Amino acid sequence: MHLYTEGARTVRNTNTQKSTPQTPSRRHSVRSLFRWRVVDIVVAAVLGVAAGLVFWLWSLAYQPLSVVLGLTPGLEGLTAGGWLFAGVLGGLIIRRPGAAIFTSVVAGVVEALLGNAWGTGNIIFAVVQGVGAEMGIALFAYASSRIFVAMIAGALAGVANVLITIPLYYSGVVPMVVTVYAVSAVVSGIVLGGIFAWIVARGLARAGALSRFPMAHAR
């Protein structure tokens, strides 16, 4: 009986010794996730500037597009995705906390500097939309760049866009129109904000531009 007890105690001690070293490893992994490299900052900034140029071009196209789509009130929400892809793109590639917000804000600032119909007010939208995209990437612990992650991040960016747009521009509007806008904006977020961003990220990876990022090694 004594030998059995000692043996059991030995097994327990052995298990304890095996599990103990894993804790520092987990802590190191968490610290590494939050520690941005210089290349992360540079690439996120470049992506933000490039996306800002696209934002500006999209703002020029918005007026005629919204008139055509507005023939069905609320359907102009389909244009929303043109301003949602920056955060998703940055989040998919950098895969660090804050990357989606950072990229979206840089893009918004560039668009404002180039000039648009909303002035610097678009930067507030960029922050909110970036938070939505960030939540989608964070749901998967910043560990995946798969297309369904991009779609979820784009959808949440669309939801964030709806939450800030409706009180400002659709207050008092017929509920049916608001509903059409909300659904259209989320769908646009999935397609333009999510799938489009994933296609761009995959294209950059295959071109060899992301060799220092996990996206380059993802299947």
Whether the predicted pLDDT of 5 surpasses 70: no
Asked whether 159 and 129 are in contact (CB, 8 A), the reply is no
Span 81-103, pLDDT tens digits: 999 999 999 999 999 999 999 99
Average pLDDT over residues 187-213: 95
Where exactly are the structural domains of the chain?
A: 1-35, 38-217
The rounded distance, in Å, linking the Cα atoms of 190 and 81 is 8
Span 30-89, pLDDT tens digits: 768 889 999 999 999 999 999 999 999 999 999 899 999 989 999 999 999 999 999 999
The rounded distance, in Å, linking the Cα atoms of 115 and 60 is 10
What confidence score (pLDDT) does residue 25 get? 54
The rounded distance, in Å, linking the Cα atoms of 184 and 158 is 9
Average pLDDT over residues 188-196: 98
Following DSSP, what letter does each residue of 125-175 receive, concatenated? HHHHHHHHHHHHHHTTTT----HHHHHHHHHHHHHHHHHHHHHHH-TT--H
Confidence label for 6 from pLDDT (cuts 50, 70 and 90) = very low
pTM here? 0.84
Phi, psi of 16 (to 5 degrees): -65, -40
